[in-house]
Structure 1
Amino acid sequence: MLTTVSRLTLDSLDRLPAHARRCVFWEIDPAISWGSGVVSDPQFEKEAWLSTVMLEWGSCGQVATLGDQPAGCALYAPPSAVPRSGLFPTSPVSADAVLLTTLRTEGVTDSNELGTQLIHAVVADLIRRGVRALEAFGIRPDGGLGSDGDGSRMSNIPFATAARECSPETCMIQADFLTEVGFEVVAPHARFPRLRLELNTDHGWKEDVERALDQLLAAAAIVAERERAALAVTC
């Protein structure tokens, strides 16, 4: 069965993987009083954040579907729209970069392949929009919190959902995967390095990016055709 990747829209929020729809690890303002560390309605908070970013900045995600089932997603936004981006020992994100916050796959046999496909779609979208670079905070599971004296800044981050299913381990992207797809470490850290992908250079997968652009254009054409068909029926 074919896996397809398309741009996230307000009408396609239900195509996000289950965890991504209710994970607000990145999106909740750290200044909010957390109390017990539980957000009462994380799915509402996540949809509100996505809606705001899409209305103010444009599409902030790529979604993968396998048949008609969610298979993965990549979410990204200007760092100013991501409150938690300022908490890391390797903060802040560069002023000319967009921040990749989320990369998830579900129910696929080769998660690395789909993850790479999602990254290509993100890059294709950002190149089209004139963005210079994509950055991400990676995680190294074997780094150890506070191993170099700085990781303790992250040790008090509360869980983000009522189910307490969110944490750096479950909601951040593996640093090793990011380096495999072309990111370079620009702010080293044993636990939370910040990595960067320049979008104005050839990383050896130009054809893949061009293919992702073609897929995005094809998906947009399909949506437009469906809208025209629906309009014709109502008329």
Structure 2
Amino acid sequence: MGRQLVPLSLDNLSDLPTRCRACVFWELDPVSGAAAHRNGHTLLEKEAWISAVLLEWGTCGRVVYVDRRPVGFVLYAPPAYVPRSQAFPTSPISADAVQLMTVWIEPGHQTQGLGRTLVQSVAKDLLRRGIRAIEAFGDARPSPTGCLPPAGHLLAVGFEVVRDHPRFPRLRLELRTVASWRADVELALDRLLGGTRPVSVPRPS
């Protein structure tokens, strides 16, 4: 079973599930998000957000492929680019952290460690960029269509609760203290990437 991990860009944005491509839950504040939905502009707003973050900050996502088919993705960005983060009862995201916005794995592939690999890929990228930590609003009662990463999954991959809440705890992963599993990050990603940095993935015929 061939696996590849590719940075998210406008070129492969169409490989995300339709509902995710049209979702601007994180990318817009609640009022602007509602207006985008009413006007049918969510796809354009999503593209505009990704384009702006790529231009101003850099890579903000990864897509994982199995046998050249997209089966999962992750989105992350500094809190200044994530207006919705201010609306949570456990906000704000710490100033020294990047927000892990969404982690999604296709149901048929959720027991293969791909979610952990996506989080590790974010950690590796941010370590190289000198970022101190990753934070996320976890969902203590996740649903299949939810935009928040499950709190249980975040705890399982090394996050710790920094502000508790019965539904939306805020969790944090200190990147300076992950030396114990940093080698695992390198090994897992080297295996996944095959020792190369893929630029694009051919679409299935």
Normalising by the residue count of structure 1, what TM-score does the alignment of the two structures yield?
A: 0.76
**Alpha-carbon distance change, 77 to 17 in structure 1, aligned in 2, over 3 angstroms:** same
Cross-structure match for 2:153: 177
- Residue 118 of structure 1 deviates from its aligned partner by 0.5
Supply the distance in 1 between the matched residues of 2:158 and 2:179 (Cα, whole angstroms).
Answer: 7
Cross-structure match for 1:27: 27
Q: Which moved more, 1:46-55 or 1:103-112?
A: 103-112
Cross-structure match for 1:160: none
Name which one, 1 or 2, has greater alpha-carbon Rg. Answer: 1
Classify the secondary structure of the residue corresponding to 1:34. helix
Supply the distance in 2 between the matched residues of 1:9 and 1:212 (Cα, whole angstroms).
Answer: 22
2:166 to 187, 190, 195: 190
Q: Any stretches of 5+ residues in structure 2 without a counterpart?
A: 201-205
Normalising by the residue count of structure 2, what TM-score does the alignment of the two structures yield?
A: 0.86
Identity %: 50
Cross-structure match for 1:148: none
Supply the distance in 2 between the matched residues of 1:39 and 1:138 (Cα, whole angstroms).
Answer: 30
**Alpha-carbon distance change, 37 to 3 in structure 1, aligned in 2, over 3 angstroms:** same
Classify the secondary structure of the residue corresponding to 1:192. coil
Matches within 5 A, 1:114-129: 114-129=114-129
- Checking the alignment, whether the CA contact within 8 Å between 2:24 and 2:33 is kept in structure 1 is no
Structure 1 outlier segments of 4+, above 6 Å: none
Cross-structure match for 1:156: none
Cross-structure match for 1:105: 105
Supply the distance in 1 between the matched residues of 2:35 and 2:180 (Cα, whole angstroms).
Answer: 48
Cross-structure match for 2:43: 43
Classify the secondary structure of the residue corresponding to 1:139. coil
**Aligned pair count?**
200
Which digits, 9 at most, give the CA deviation of each residue in 1:147-201, with x for residues without a partner?
xxxxxxxxxxxxxxxxxxxx99611111111001000000111111000000011
1:207 aligns with 2:183: yes
Q: Which moved more, 1:24-33 or 1:34-43?
A: 34-43
Q: Any stretches of 5+ residues in structure 1 without a counterpart?
A: 143-166, 225-235
Classify the secondary structure of the residue corresponding to 1:76. strand
**Alpha-carbon distance change, 112 to 178 in structure 1, aligned in 2, over 3 angstroms:** farther
Classify the secondary structure of the residue corresponding to 2:108. coil
